């Protein structure tokens, strides 16, 4: 924080009433200076990367890119106060080092408490929010923002322009390409085995030679899923499995 008396603030929020309320509250709180506003995750990431702020009010359910993804991708995350209408994200927010978590709608008193808490840590010179350790795949499914823990994912499969995330109990449709999903999965736990499949290595049971340089991979899920291993991916899979 460059100025000990003025704390720069950025708002990442897509709902106009919420933006107006935050702008009003920020203006009414001494020591805060509004530096910028973004209405989607990609815009927030771009603006904050170019011009960092001390304090970020971050809506979790942002368009284009979720608030969690924004925080994960920032090289130097600021102190963060999450704002959302969904209380199920509270634990994840604090795991990411959030200073506080405001559940919409919130009063000025609740806002002031969250800000004072964040400002106190800033003025004490404590280190900023650490770069978060991701624990799950974040995506949208039919207008709902979901976070699926990595360990729950058995495999993901391409469905044309979309991707299906398969867990033990349910499958989820995403609007992402398989390549995009692959970029969000930790490389140490997942591997691409075919142009249509990425699997969680924890769920691999065994694989057998099939024909023409291809293999059949067997998973240890309840359905005992079998997937084709593409010839171009077989050697990398063998190396990962130590075969």
Q: Closest by alpha carbon to 155, among 214, 220, 206?
A: 220
* CA dist list (Å): 137 to 25, 66, 206, 243: 33, 11, 25, 29
Q: In the prediction, which pLDDT does 1 show?
A: 44
Pick the CATH number of 7-123 from 2.40.50.100, 1.10.10.10, 3.30.565.10, 3.40.50.2300: 3.40.50.2300
* CA dist list (Å): 102 to 62, 109, 115, 131: 15, 11, 10, 21
Q: In the prediction, which pLDDT does 2 show?
A: 44
**Residues 31, 57 contacting (CB under 8 angstroms):** no
Length of the chain equals: 243
**Cα-flanking dihedrals φ and ψ of residue 20, to 5°?**
-60, -40
Average pLDDT over the chain, rounded to an integer: 84
Chain segment 119-138, per-residue pLDDT in tens: 877 765 554 444 445 567 87
Q: Which of 85-89, 111-115, 164-168 has the lowest mean pLDDT?
A: 85-89
Chain segment 211-229, per-residue pLDDT in tens: 776 789 999 998 899 999 9
Q: In the prediction, which pLDDT does 232 show?
A: 86
**Residues 6+ away with beta carbon under 8 Å from 123:** 1, 4
pTM score of the predicted model = 0.57
Pick the CATH number of 146-241 from 2.40.50.1020, 3.30.465.10, 3.40.50.80, 2.40.50.1040: 2.40.50.1020
**Cα 242 to Cα 236: distance, rounded to the nearest angstrom:** 10
Looking at per-residue confidence, does 33 or 187 come out higher?
Answer: 33
Domain spans of the chain, in order of start: 7-123, 146-241
Return the structure tokens found at 103: 């559940």
Task: Determine how many CB atoms are found less than 10 A away from the CB of residue 38.
Answer: 23
Same fold, 7-123 and 146-241: no
Chain segment 90-118, per-residue pLDDT in tens: 555 665 667 788 888 899 999 999 998 88
What percentage of the chain carries pLDDT values higher than 70? Answer: 86
């Amino acid at each position: 924080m460059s100025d000990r008396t003025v704390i720069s603030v950025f708002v990442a929020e897509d709902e106009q009433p919420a933006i107006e309320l935050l702008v009003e509250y920020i203006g009414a709180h001494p020591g805060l200076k509004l530096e910028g506003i973004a209405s989607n995750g990609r815009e927030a990431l771009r603006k904050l990367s170019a011009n960092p702020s001390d304090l970020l009010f971050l809506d979790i359910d942002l368009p284009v890119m979720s608030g969690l993804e924004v925080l994960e991708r920032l090289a130097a995350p600021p102190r963060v106060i999450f704002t959302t209408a969904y209380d199920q994200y509270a634990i994840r927010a604090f795991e990411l080092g959030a200073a506080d978590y405001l559940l919409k709608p919130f009063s000025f008193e609740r806002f002031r408490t969250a800000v004072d808490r964040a400002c106190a840590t800033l003025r004490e010179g404590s280190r900023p929010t650490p770069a978060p350790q991701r624990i799950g795949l974040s995506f949208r499914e039919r207008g709902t923002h979901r976070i699926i823990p990595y360990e729950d994912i058995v495999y993901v499969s391409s469905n044309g322009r979309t991707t299906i995330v398969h867990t033990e109990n349910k499958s989820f449709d995403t609007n992402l390409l398989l390549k995009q999903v692959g970029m969000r999965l930790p490389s140490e736990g997942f591997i691409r085995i075919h142009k249509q499949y990425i699997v969680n290595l924890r769920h691999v049971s065994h694989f057998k030679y099939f024909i023409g340089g291809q293999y059949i991979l067997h998973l240890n899920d309840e359905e005992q899923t079998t997937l084709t291993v593409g010839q171009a991916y077989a050697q990398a899979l063998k190396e990962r499995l130590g075969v």
